[in-house]
Amino acid sequence: MRAIIAIVTACTALAIPAVAAAFSGFFVSASGEGLHNDAAVVVLMRDGDHTVLSLQNYYDGPPEDFALVVPVPTTVEEGDIRVLSRDLFERVDRLTAPRLVEYWEQDPCPRDEGLALGTDDAEPAQPAPMVVESVEQERDEAREPTGVAVTARFSVGEYDFEVLDAEQSVGLERWLRRHGYRVPDGAEALLRPYVHAGMKFVVAKVDVSRLPAGRGALSPLRIHYRTDALSLPLRPGALNSRGAADLIVVILARGVRYEAANYPNFAVPTNLDVAVNTGDAFGPFYAALFDRMVELHPDAALTEYAWDAASCDPCPVPPLSADEVASLGGDVIPSYGEDVARGEVPLSFVGDFVVTRLHLRTTGGSLPRDLDLRPAPPIRGGVGIPGPAGDLDKGVAVASRNYFQGRFVMRHPHEGEVACDDPRRGVWGGPRGTHYYASLGPVQSAAGSAFATRGGFDLAGYLPRDVATLEGPGAAQELPRGPVTPPPVRRPRGGCGACAVPGLVGPRVSAAGPSLFFSGILGILGISGFMGLLRTRRRRRIARALPPTPPSC
C-alpha cells in the first residue's frame, strides 16, 4: 500500500481554471475560481511502518470555498490529524536549505598580541507554539448512491474534515460534483488506481472565518498512518499543470538517510566559490543554479541536505528542538511515542534522527511517476575550512555518518598592507578582528528559493572560480550506493531508566540531573558487585585445582 497525497484547493482572487494542479494532486473549487500551487513542502517522519506526513500548502490571496483532498492508505480519525505551526515549517526549510558562508583571509602578518574572540549576541528566533483545536468527532455510516461512505467528520484548526471510503473512482468524482466541487476532465481515470488500491480520501474544507486574513499559506496538516512502502504521488499534478513547480521533501528517520527509489539520485554542487556580491542575491542565484542542474538531470531527485537533527555546521538557524521533533511525529511513532506522552525521552532523542532534504522540479511533462523512497547509506560533503592552498573538497562520498550540505563559499581576500618579510597568505577564518575559529558571522539560507524570480540570471558572473563546474554533467554528482545499516529496534522505557528532556510536553517533565546521578551510583555498585563475583569464582577454581588437604590429627 502506498502513501499518496493529493492536494486540492482554490481561491476567488484570480480568474484562472476552477481546478488547478499541485505536485501531489489537483485543486477543486466550489466557486469556479482556482489557484495554482507553484511549490510544496512535505515533511515525513518514518519509523518502521509508521509514517507521519506533514504538508504545507501555499496560496497567493484570500481563499474562499475550497478544499484539500488527501488520499491516505488507511482510515484516519480525529486523533490522527493535527495542525502544526507555520513557523515550524519555515524553520525546517531554513535549516535544511543550501547555505552561503563567508571566510576572511587572515592578516598575513599576525601580531603578537593575538586576536580577540568573536561573539554573536543575537538571540535566535524561536518557533511559535503549536495550537491545535479539536472538535467532537461525528460519524456517518450512511452510504450514498455514489458508492461513497462518509466514515468520519471532525474539525481541526481552520479545517472541516470528512473521511471518504470510495468503491469506484467514478463514484468519488460524482460525490465531489454533488457536493459543489468542479472536477476536471480526466480526473476519474487518474484517481482509478488509487481507489482500486483501497485508499481512503480525506476532504479538508477550509472554514474561511477561522483563517487569518492575508496569510500566504494554510496551516500545515499532519497525518499519521501506517504503510509498508513510503511514497508520494506526482502523477495527479499532470491534470492541469501550469508548468514548472518545486517539490521539497524532508524526511526524518531514525539513524538513516533516505533517497528516491525510482528516480536518479544526485547531490547538488557544494563547496563552490562564489563572488563577493552573491550575498545580495543568494536566493535567485541558487534558484538559477538549481534550474541548471534540472536541465542536466531533468528526472533526478537532488539531495540538498543530510545531517543529524541535533547539529549543523554552519547553522543558519538553531537545530531542531525536542518539542519540534515531537511535533513532527516523534510523539506518535513507536520508538518514542510512549516516552513523549510521559514527558520522558532519552537525551539522544533529537540526535537519533537523520534529516534528509530532497528537491525535485517539474518542467512540463517531467516527473511522470510517483516518488518512492528508500533508506540510503550515509554521505559526507560540503564541509571543511579552506586551507593555505584555498581549495575545498567538492566531492560527495559514502561515510560513517551523514555530513552533507549544499554549501557555497564567499571569500574576502586580505586587502590591507603586508608589512612583514614572510607573510602567510591563504589562511581563512572568521571576520577580521576575530579569532580564527570564531563564528563566521551570519549564514544565509536559500529557503524560499522555489518562489524566487526565474530567468535572466547570469551564473557565470557569480562563479569566478568554479564556472567550469556547471559546463557539464559533473555539476551535480550521482550519489554512491553502499550498505545500509538499519537502526536497532528501540522499545519505549519508563521509570527511573528514562532521561527527561526539560521543556518537552509541559509540566510532567522533570530534571534529568538527579536521575543521571543515581543511575551512575547504581552503575558503580553494579560494577563493584560484578568484580567481586569474578574474584569469588576465581578463588573457587583455584581451590578445586589444589590437591585435597590431609586430615589433621
Give the 3-state DSSP-derived string for 314-327, with helices as H, strands as E and coil as C.
CCCCCCCCHHHHHH
Contact 196, 4 (CB under 8 A): no
Instruction: With a cut of 60, say whether residue 2 has pLDDT above it.
Output: no
15-19 contacts, C-beta under 8 A, 24 or more apart:
17/184, 17/240, 18/182, 18/184, 19/182, 19/183, 19/184, 19/187, 19/239, 19/240
Residue type, 530: F
pLDDT at 100: 94
Please state the length of the chain. 553
Strands 230-232 and 244-254 come out as: unpaired
Residues above pLDDT 70, as percent of the chain: 64
Q: Among residues 63, 33, 41, 91, which one has the least CA distance to residue 324?
A: 91
pLDDT (mean) for 130-154? 54
Contact 143, 149 (CB under 8 A): yes
Calculate the average pLDDT of the chain: 73
Q: Among residues 30, 97, 95, which one has the least CA distance to residue 69?
A: 30
Place of cell 524532508: 250
pLDDT in tens, 46-100: 999 999 999 887 655 455 667 777 777 778 888 898 989 889 999 999 999 999 9
Contact 202, 82 (CB under 8 A): no
pLDDT in tens, 531-553: 555 555 555 554 444 444 444 43
Residue type, 80: D
User: How far apart, in Å, are the Cα atoms of 243 and each of 38, 62, 239, 457, 523?
Assistant: 9, 23, 11, 20, 62
C-alpha cell at 331: 510523539
Residue 314: cis peptide before it, omega within 30 degrees of 0 = yes
Instruction: Strands of 24-115 (E only): list them.
Output: 25-26, 28-29, 39-47, 50-56, 66-72, 81-83, 99-105
Place of cell 521533501: 249
Q: CB neighbours (10 Å) of residue 160?
A: 17
Instruction: With a cut of 80, say whether residue 223 has pLDDT above it.
Output: yes
pLDDT in tens, 473-488: 557 888 988 788 888 7
CB-based contacts of 441: which residues, under 8 Å, 6+ apart? 102, 120, 430, 431
